[in-house]
Amino acid sequence: MGSAEPDEEHSALSMHPWGAVFAEVAVDRSTHMPRVRRIVATYDIGTLLNTDHRP
């Protein structure tokens, strides 16, 4: 029977990618409409696999 628990290779093979998005928003007092002034985003791929791969 299988198991849902991670095995020993899990930490060596997992990548853990992540990202974050920040937005600056203003609201018009007379119309109550939001306006996005700027957005900044960053992302990371985590652990790179197959580092020896050459095209």
What per-residue confidence (pLDDT) applies to 11?
61
In this prediction, residue 6 carries a pLDDT of 65
Residue by residue, pLDDT tens for the chain (55 residues) are 666 776 666 666 556 778 999 999 999 999 999 999 999 999 987 766 666 666 6
CB neighbour list of residue 26: distance below 8 Å, 6 or more residues apart: 34, 35, 37
User: 48: which DSSP letter?
Assistant: P
Residue pair 16/45 in contact (Cβ under 8 Å)? The answer is no
pLDDT at 39: 97
What tokens appear for 54 in the block? Answer: 């050459």
